[in-house]
Amino acid sequence: MEAVIKLYSLGYKQAKTYLAAALFTLGNMIVPQLCHTVHMGGPTWLPIYLFTLIGAYKYGWRVGLLTAIASPLLNSVLFGMPALSSLPAILLKSVLLAGIAGYTAHRFQKISVFLMLVVVLGYQLLGTLGEWLLKGDFYMASQDFRIGIPGMLIQIFGGYLFVKYLIHK
């Protein structure tokens, strides 16, 4: 399950960068609202990261970084989720995800389920360590590994399918 696809590395001077980031941010706002309609939907499905992963992998770390920062901030301001107390950890994980996904796509110039697994585990492991340092509570920091496995699986397989099949250009 490996595919060579057209990947981009958009720069900050390109209008496409901001258009792509706006669209992925919108996705990161709509999907979490849907997930939050069910009990523990956010912590279980980790919806705020999906379009950051897709944007960074397909269009480069800059699109990913813009999406990673805008999504949690706008969601928090507009909808109160994530809560302000969780915002630093979510921003950390989002930024890590954008960097790791963008680097992986640039380095390997292909997509596979294995590469998506590496990206998701990479940002989650580093993010958990960072969250542990921020909160001082390993139990809380490891919540994504205790509750969010379905969300990580969606990121791995959904991210792979979305990048490979749904975004052709």
Do the beta carbons of residue 57 and residue 101 sit within 8 Å? Answer: yes
**H or E, element range at 111:** strand 111-112
Nearest by Cα to 156 from 130, 109, 124, 126: 124
pLDDT value of residue 117: 98
Give me the average pLDDT of each 10-residue run along the chain (169 residues).
80 97 98 96 96 97 98 98 96 98 97 98 98 97 97 98 81
Nearest by Cα to 87 from 74, 97, 98, 100: 74
pLDDT value of residue 3: 63
Q: pTM above the 0.85 mark?
A: yes
